[in-house]
Amino acid sequence: MGLFGLFSKAKKESLDQGLAKTKESVFQKLSRAVVGKSKVDDEVLDNLEEVLITSDVGVDTTLKIIRRIEERVDRDKYLGVSELNRILKEEIAALLEENNTVDVSDFELPQSNEPYVIMVVGVNGVGKTTTIGKLAYNFKKAGKKVILGAADTFRAAAIDQLEVWAKRVDVPIVRQDMGSDPASVAFDTLKSAKAQGADVVIIDTAGRLHNKINLMNELSKIKKVMQKVVPGAPDEVLLVLDGSTGQNAFEQAKQFTLATEVTALALTKLDGTAKGGVVIGISDQFKIPVKYIGIGEKMEDLQIFNRVEFVDSLFS
C-alpha cells in the first residue's frame, strides 16, 4: 500500500492547496534556474542554491541539499534538468528522514496504561491555542479521550481561548484563575486525566521568551510536578511555530530548544505564505521532527506531517 495509500486523496488535495503559494514561488524560481539548460551543471546548481535559500530553506540546509545533488551528478555523470524535480524530491525526503521524521498515518498513540501527555510550548500569536484545539478535535475524532490543561496562567485571554476550544470540541478542560501556579494546573490536569481514564492530555504553557531563565525554570517545574502523577511525562514537548514568519521561526526554535528539550514541531499558517520551505530547514537544523502542519482554517487542516507527501506537493 505504501505511504501514498496511507494518505487520503482529500488530505493530499488540502495539502496541495495549502502549499500552493510556496509551490508557485518555488516553481517559478526553478523554471528560471534551468532556463535554456538541458543538463544539471554548476550554473544550474548555483541557481538552485539561490532558489532554496530564497524559499526559506535556510543556508546550511540548502548547502546540504546541493551537496547531495552534486554527488548524484558525479555518480550519474549526466543529469537532465527534466529530472531535477524528481531528484530534489528524493534528496529532501531522504534528508527529512535523517531527522527522525517518521511518517505516521494518523492521530495514533503508543499503547500505554497511562495517558499520553503533550506539553505545548511556543510564543503567543503563533497559533498555539488553535493548534491545541485542532489536536484535541483530531484525537477525539480518532476515538481518543482527550483532556486539556490551561497552564498558561499569565494571560486571562489564554485561559479563555482554550476554554472556547474545549467547548467547541467538547472535551473537558482543567483551569484555575489567572496568576495561579502553572505547575499546579498541570498536576490537577494529570490527576483528573488518570481518574477519568483519558488517553491524551494536552497542556498549554506560557510562551514568554523574553525571560528565558524564568521560562526554563517554569517548564522544568511543570515537568517535575507532572512526573509525580505520570512517571516519564511529558511524552512529547511540542513547539508550535508560525511558518509564515520564515527566518523568525528559526530564531524562536533556537531560543526554545535552549530553554527546554523539544521533541516535536508543529508549523502553522503555511497556507497564507510562500515560506513553506521553512519546514525543511527547521527540521534539518534542529534535528527535531516536524509532526504537524497547519495548512488552513478548518479543523482537519491541522495535518500529520508526511515528508513524502509534503515534498511531492512542493516539487511536482
The reply to whether 79 and 124 lie within a common domain is no
Locate the DSSP E strands across the chain: 116-121, 146-151, 173-174, 200-205, 236-242, 264-268, 290-294, 302-304
- Summarize pLDDT for 77-90 with one digit per residue, the tens: 788 888 888 889 99
pLDDT (0 to 100) of residue 100:
62
The reply to whether 14 and 70 lie within a common domain is yes
Residue 268 marked in a binding site? yes
The reply to whether 81 and 193 lie within a common domain is no
Total domains, the chain: 2
- Summarize pLDDT for 171-220 with one digit per residue, the tens: 999 999 999 999 999 999 999 999 999 999 999 998 877 777 888 899 99
Residue 166 marked in a binding site? no
Residue 86 marked in a binding site? no
Residue 131 marked in a binding site? no
- Structural domain of residue 157, as residue ranges? 116-306
Residue 271 marked in a binding site? yes
Residue 242 marked in a binding site? no
Residue 269 marked in a binding site? yes
Last residue of a domain, one of 37, 66, 98: 98
The reply to whether 134 and 43 lie within a common domain is no
**174 lies in some domain:** yes
**110 lies in some domain:** no
Residue 126 marked in a binding site? yes
CA-to-CA separations, 217 to 13, 184, 221, 222, 251, in angstroms, rounded: 43, 14, 6, 9, 20
138: left (phi over 0), alpha (psi -120 to 50) or beta: alpha
Residue 273 marked in a binding site? no
Give the residue with greater pLDDT, 249 vs 79. 249
The reply to whether 67 and 143 lie within a common domain is no
Residue 99 marked in a binding site? no
Residue 207 marked in a binding site? yes
Q: For position 66, which CATH number holds?
A: 1.20.120.140
